[in-house]
Chain A
């Protein structure tokens, strides 16, 4: 009996040691196996192109022969600097960005406030205001082109009922930018409202209770409890919307109908994203398109830095 257990013990020992070794090996190497598929794709299609854009922007590259690169130094950038259409696109991107983002986020904030009430059919309202998010840029823009039509559009028809003259939405600078912004606002207001709603529901209830005990009215509670608690979320949505506005492309492309990537007869609603596309895939200058891309990147970094500074000041002031 004793001999038997003595014989079994080393075997058991060995098995345990083997298992421990395998365990150690697994803990050591398996994490890399787990992240490898992601990073493989991420490096090939995310990181590499991002950096290579900068390299391509220093070259002459034509769409007709995209693998042939010819050194050009900073020529693409200096050419951009002198191109009035670049500055026009930058200006348009900024104005359309402001016209679309500011009302969108304000409405979303109000909408979230309303959705935060105890409501009958609250899920219906939430899904309904999110349906524009399910609509693609292309489908939405095609519909809005009709709605904003000069001769038979519903918007002008409604204006006519109110006694106003029809507006040539597409050909005016401000009117076309307003129309393009309307598409953006329509698609994203509900989405942002849900983000705000999630943040509002995370505000601790006793904050409101003590505010109510101090005699704060509901409007005061909204201003002094809700808004301050939502600051980080608001900042976040501002950043995301700004990035979205910087890359605006599909709406101005399709708002122009069959007339191409010019963003209107006078380029009145050509954005940076559309200008990049026009330079690269209409005028066939991929190198120049890369330079535009990196300029956009710099602008985003600038916005990021400003955002960080504002965020720091907000934190300090609290």
Chain B
């Protein structure tokens, strides 16, 4: 498998091209011969998909603002009620969501920072330096990229049991602190974003390895580092399988572990469960509103092609 190189800003697929006057028909052929204007049907279908994508989230908020009794009624509520504050309060305190949000912020933040740092440095070595076993090591890294987490969960559990790390945050941080995908992603980016002459010149000037990393590699890698950081943060925030095994609802849960406890009847009030789901999702939704364009761009740039 080969991967597309995360493109340089010039070829940013998210960049909106300059608006051109629409032809009278509204969907004439553009000069590129390819990008046609969308017609009413296109818009209708897209709006339908958008509604389908957003509806469950909006309805989570609606259900979280109602009472449990109202949710057990027909027809289901379609608009907000006045119970949101109460439900959020119960979810925050009784269902441990407050602590869980803090834990998850720590976990996802550390994992994102670690992944970006280690991936950039290792990706730089794989992209620009020559050393023995380089190709073999790269192949090993890529080869395990698609191995599901289930495959290593038993030994991991044995390890954290031995170290007495069960229910401690490092049990979920350390195993995911580095990512093979991250190394590959940064390598692909630096291959073309960082001119080799620049590294050579810095070396000739007597710059040590750390200074090269800090003054040459990091500035060149910054856009890709931001993208990798955001994608890793989202992934770490939503990670489910391993945290559910390593942490417990009443110890130091991440958001997902706390939600699992809610779903298992820890609190039987459906409107409170929805308030918990809302709390757990809200931080990422806010991030999407703020950085949506960059995240979309990152996914499109990182799109790996067979």
The interface of chain A, by Cβ under 8 A from chain B, is: 19, 22-23, 26-28, 30-35, 37-39, 41-42, 45-50, 52-53, 56, 61, 66-67, 110-111, 114-119, 122-147, 151-154, 157, 186, 189-191, 194-195, 197-199, 201-203, 205-206, 208-209, 212, 218, 232-233, 235-236, 239-240, 243, 246-247, 249-250, 253-254, 257-258, 260, 273, 276-277, 280-281, 286, 289-290, 293-294, 296-297, 300, 311
Q: Which of A132, A139, A143, A280 has its CB near the most chain B CB atoms (within 10 A)?
A: A139
- Known contacts A38-B121, A236-B1; decide if A117 and B148 are in contact (CB<8 Å): no
Q: Contact: A30 with B38, CB < 8 Å?
A: no
Q: A42-B180, A47-B144, A53-B153 are in contact. List 12 more A-B contacts (CB 8 A).
A: A27-B130, A37-B121, A46-B144, A53-B155, A114-B46, A138-B259, A142-B259, A154-B76, A195-B303, A236-B304, A254-B259, A296-B148
Chain B, interface residues (CB within 8 Å), range:
35 or more
B163 to A: closest C-beta gap in Å: 11
Chain B residues with CB below 8 A from A56, complex form: 154-155, 158
Q: Pick the contact of A45 from B122, B174, B204, B300 — CB < 8 Å? A: B174
B residues adjacent to A (C-beta < 8 A): 1, 4, 13-14, 16-17, 20, 27, 29-30, 32-38, 42-43, 45-46, 49-50, 52-54, 56-57, 59-60, 63, 71-76, 118-119, 121-122, 124-126, 129-131, 134, 137, 140-141, 144, 146-159, 161-162, 174-178, 180, 183, 203-204, 206, 208-209, 213, 234, 237-238, 240-241, 244-245, 255-256, 259-260, 262-265, 270, 273-274, 276-278, 280-281, 284-285, 287-288, 292-293, 295-296, 299-301, 303-306
| Docked-complex contact A122 and B16, CB < 8 angstroms | yes
* Interface of chain B: mostly helix, strand, loop or mixed: helix
Contacts of B256 in A (CB 8 A): 136-138, 250
CB distance from A5 to the nearest CB of B (A): 23
Contact assessment for A202 and B76 in the assembled complex, using a CB-CB cutoff below 8 Å: no
**Residue contact B277 to A143, C-beta cutoff 8 Å:** yes
Q: Are A123 and B292 in contact (CB under 8 A)?
A: yes
Q: In the complex, which of the residues B152, B177, B255, B277 contacts A49, with contact meaning CB atoms closer than 8 Å?
A: B152
Question: Could you tell me the distance between the alpha carbons of A199 and B32 in the complex, rounded to whole angstroms?
Answer: 17
Contact across chains for A50 and B151 when beta carbons are under 8 A apart: yes
Q: Chain B contacts of A152 at CB under 8 A?
A: 71-74, 76
Minimum distance in angstroms from B15 CB to a CB of chain A? 10
Cα–Cα, bound, A168→B246 (Å): 34
Does A232 lie within 8 Å of B280, measured CB to CB?
Answer: no
Say yes or no: B296 contacts A205, CB within 8 Å: no
Cα distance A133–B285 when bound, in Å? 10
Choose among A31, A130, A236, A249 the residue that contacts B131 (Cβ–Cβ < 8 A).
Answer: A31
Chain B residues positioned under 8 Å from A249 (CB to CB): 150, 240-241
CB distance from B74 to the nearest CB of A (A): 6
Tell me if A130 and B288 are in contact (CB < 8 A). yes
Q: Is the CB of A139 within 8 A of B180?
A: no
Task: Let me know if A127 and B162 touch, CB within 8 A.
Answer: no
List 22 A-B pairs, Cβ < 8 Å: A27-B203, A28-B131, A38-B183, A67-B161, A111-B46, A117-B27, A117-B35, A117-B42, A118-B38, A130-B295, A136-B280, A136-B281, A138-B260, A139-B280, A145-B263, A146-B71, A186-B53, A203-B34, A250-B244, A293-B150, A296-B148, A296-B151
